[in-house]
Amino acid sequence: MREGRLRATSLAMKKMLTCGVIAAAVSVGFAAQAQSTATKPAPKLVVVISIDQFSANLYAQHRPEFTGGLKQLSAGIVYPNGYQSHAFTETCPGHSTLLTGKHPNKTGISANDWYDKTTGKTVYCLADPSVTLADDPKGRAVSPANMVATTYGDWLKAVSPNSRVFGVSGKDRGAITMSGHAADGQFWYQPGFGFTTYVRPGQTAEARLKPVAAFNAKLAADLKKQPFVWDYAKSPLDAVTGGGSAKRCKALEADYETGGRKWRAALPIPAATTEAEKRRDLAASPYTDQVTLELATALREAYGLGDGPQVDVLAISLSATDYIGHRYGTRGPEMCDQIARLDERLGAFLKGLEKVKGGVLVALSADHGGADMAERLHGEGYDYERVIGKPWIAKLNAQVRAQLGLSWDPLNAEGGLDQIYVVGPDGKATSDIDRTRITAAALPLIISDPAVAGAFDSNALLTLPPAPADASPEELSLAERLRRSVYPGRVGDIVVAFRPDRVPATAGPTYVSTHGSPWDYDRRVPILFWWKGAAPHERVLPLDTVDIAPTIAAVTGVTPPADIDGKCRPLVYGQRC
């Protein structure tokens, strides 16, 4: 029954795409003519932008309303049907695909967190105890060390040492995974401090923060002088247009109950009463993207990126859409206002790039998509429900213990219900024999759960042949999607995929929606390429995010590693990679 429903969904998608392909074929002559007259990109500055949790659905929903930067970028090469083709659609693995040309099973970044069975502790994807944070030596230290793949910026600097590579984001995992191992600077926003980075042994925090010191000082002064208040965006054109985005977004206000909490989706949000709450609210607002883009501009101008003879790289990950999606959902007034502000801010950022002396190539995509909160979808008649983690894993442990006569809970799901680790009484690795029999006992129980679409022994997935090189991302089986997420030693012993309408996440005071599934609402993302002189071209066939890096590499004359998964895609009609 479940397989039939999933297959029907797949067939419906195929029919829609077939219509799109036919429409594209009818107009191919016109597209070819327009592309043949387009200016080929010859960049001295490559700007790669990731909008965290910017699903293809979100892009399509708001595209008719774009008037700023997103409208400008949508006038270039547009792949509205891009894919993060792996299964664990989280921030760290998704960002790791964008500029490495590799799926997470080759980047080593299988998830945001994994469980280390040698220590019995959860490990953050970028955790590195050999470094410290510039803003707090006792904070969670991070670096690119866990990422076993190199990025486009690394390839570029290997052949062009004078090239500069910078990464900026609202999150460490956005800045670091996109800019790689040899970046000249990687900075992310820390509320209450400004932009920070990591410090290696022998380095000083002062020296590492020097590129952003003046910016951070101004940021703090500006925020003290005029605190950011998140209300509906206002535009000088509102009087002419009848209210603009503010009127459109305000119409989405409504009351909800999630996790036993009653709240109203509306702006402005209730005022915070503690300093910690103020910082939390500031991070989960359009302010995060605003200051990230401002820092990107400041670094571009300070270092003259794109002004010299070499190619430079500016990798930008915009985190606010994800923060807001998790806290408020994807289709309320909060997300509506966020997208409108992001569009405007991107327009201002792109305007600033007109000062660059060399050519500029901009690529935009996302690390993953995201679904709306289950309660709003349920209220609209969809059969969406939450799977509560602790009771679910407790029941499974009890069943396995009874079946095998164990005296301990053998299954650990601290990293999430989609990855389950088999452990011994001490919470650490057990014998291979115990792993085999515990996994064999647990799998049928998991698969029989009506909320589950599929579950696999990760060792079996590791032996699964890779999908054919020409396989479309939309056609991958569930096992093939999971295979692209499985990295040995980090992934769970058992990997689980819940049904598309079952959400393995509990709603909390600041958390109502999530992502991370192998389904298309989490996998599909837009992929855009733009440069001055680009002819508008909508390309309806699917594209994988791993194709972005080799495409940019070909444009700039850089040879990627031979073992990448992605393929170069010609940006101009008739151009060969």
Phi/psi for 102 (5° steps) reads: -130, 150
- Would the annotation count 261 as a binding residue? no
Can you tell me the distance from the alpha carbon of 12 to that of 565, in angstroms, rounded to the nearest whole number? Answer: 28
SS3 131: coil
> 216 among the known binding-site residues?
no
Cα end-to-end span (Å), the chain: 45
Local structure of 118: helix, strand or coil: coil
Best CA proximity match to 556, nearest among 162, 153, 185? 153
Q: How many CA atoms lie within 13 A of 371 on its CB side?
A: 27
d(CA 350, CA 364): 12
Q: Lay out the sheet containing 494-498: strands in order across.
A: 411-412, 419-422, 494-498, 452-457
140 is in an annotated binding site: no
Residue at 34: amino acid letter: A
Q: What are the C-alpha distances in Å from 200 to residues 9, 145, 175, 186, 315?
A: 50, 11, 17, 13, 21
Structure tokens at 287: 């302010």
Q: Which whole-number Å values give the CA distances from 395 to 221, 287, 345, 390, 424, in the listed order?
A: 53, 42, 48, 9, 18
Residue 211 tokens, joined: 């590129």
For residue 65, give the DSSP letter.
G
173 labelled ligand-binding: yes
In degrees to the nearest 10, what's the CA dihedral of 390, 393, 394, 399?
160
| 3-state secondary structure (DSSP) of residue 370 | coil
Contact 562, 120 (CB under 8 A): no
From the candidates 89, 91, 196, 556, which is the catalytic residue? 91
User: CA-CA distance, 305 to 164, in Å (whole number)?
Assistant: 7
117, with CB counted inside 10 A (0-12, 13-18, 19+), is: buried
254 forms bridges with which residues in the sheet?
A: 265
Select from 345, 318, 323 the least CA-distant residue to 245. 345
DSSP, res 474? G
From CA 385, how far away is CA 505, in angstroms rounded? 10
CB–CB of 342/288 below 8 Å? Answer: no
Active site residue 91: yes
The alpha helices in 381-512, defined as continuous H runs, are: 389-404, 432-447, 458-462, 478-483
What residues are designated binding site?
A: 112, 171-173
What residues are designated binding site for substrate?
A: 112, 171-173
Catalytic residues: 91
